Amino acid sequence: MLYAPLAKAPQLENAPGGVWKAAPILILSGGTIPVIPYTSQSKAWGAAPTETRSDALDIIATNVSHVTIDAKRAHVDCNAKLAVNTDGPLEVTLAECHGKRTSRTLSFGG
């Protein structure tokens, strides 16, 4: 398959969040279908915003009775502050605390 521009595509600005949508300016040719026009869209992403790390998790649980969180992957330890909003009883297990095989289970709601 060949990709060929029908017209010069606009240059994407370097500003984060800049989005451009081009009219059907590109064509796809080759194969059994003669020519197919298509559109293109791009987005420029900036650097991720920085936030200070905290030993805390916000949990919103609906129709769930138990969750297990890998503490190491979540960058928290077994003493993490948990802000929990649940519609029923919920058990939260923080597993692999401090990179060890220790865990902590807490109960919330109902």
pLDDT in tens, 22-74: 655 666 677 777 777 777 777 777 888 888 889 999 999 999 999 999 998 99
Place of tokens 């519609």: 87
Q: Measured between alpha carbons, how far is residue 66 from residues 52, 57, 76 in Å?
A: 28, 15, 18
- Both structure tokens of 62: 């609906």
Residue range 68-101, pLDDT digits in tens: 999 989 989 989 999 999 999 999 999 988 767 8
Q: Tell whether pTM > 0.85.
A: no
